[in-house]
Structure 1
Amino acid sequence: MNIIYLLLALSVLVAIIFFIAFIVSVKKGQYDDVYTPSVRMLFDDELVKSKSKQSKTSKNEKSN
């Protein structure tokens, strides 16, 4: 029974250490994304048509 208490205490300690490391990295700006906002306007928002739809429309155009 004592080993369960020991393992529980160690797991809580490890979780606290990881949480502190996460908080420190957020405060230092590790997760700040400074590149994507500057190039976001360059990305196309249009949906790309699938090849099957394009081939069907080209076949319909050829038959007309």
Structure 2
Amino acid sequence: MNILLLLAPFSVLLGLVAVGAFVWTLRSGQYDDVQGAAARILIDEPDPIPSQPAGGIPPNH
């Protein structure tokens, strides 16, 4: 039974830390644009043009 005297305050403290972390994420704007982040993964960006051919071998001139 003595372990409850240690675990009960520890669980309350852990819960307060979790609520504090959630409030911090709300204030820092983590959830501002949920739909934009979901749609951004669907945007297909063109591949950049490589400066050298694959393999690193310079082209013959």
Question: Under a length normalisation based on structure 1, what TM-score does the superposition of the two structures give?
Answer: 0.50
Number of positions where the alignment pairs a residue of Structure 1 with one of Structure 2: 36
Correspondence list, 1:16-31, <5 A: 16-31=16-31
Aligned counterparts of 2:26 and 2:12: Cα–Cα separation in 1? 21
* Superposed structure 1 runs of 4+ greater than 2 Å apart: none
Higher Rg:
1
- Residue ranges of structure 1 left out of the alignment (5+ in a row): 37-64
Correspondence list, 1:1-64, <5 A: 1-33=1-33, 35=36
For residues 9-29 of structure 1, give each alpha carbon's deviation from its aligned partner in whole angstroms, at most 9, with x where no partner exists. Answer: 110000000000000010000
- Identical amino acids, percent of aligned pairs: 44
What is the root-mean-square deviation in Å for CA atoms of aligned residues? 1.6
- Residue ranges of structure 2 left out of the alignment (5+ in a row): 38-61
For residues 24-53 of structure 1, give each alpha carbon's deviation from its aligned partner in whole angstroms, at most 9, with x where no partner exists. Answer: 0100000111627xxxxxxxxxxxxxxxxx
Aligned counterparts of 1:31 and 1:5: Cα–Cα separation in 2? 37
- Give the number of the structure whose residues are more often helix, by fraction: 1
Read off the aligned partner of 1:7 and give its amino acid letter. Answer: L
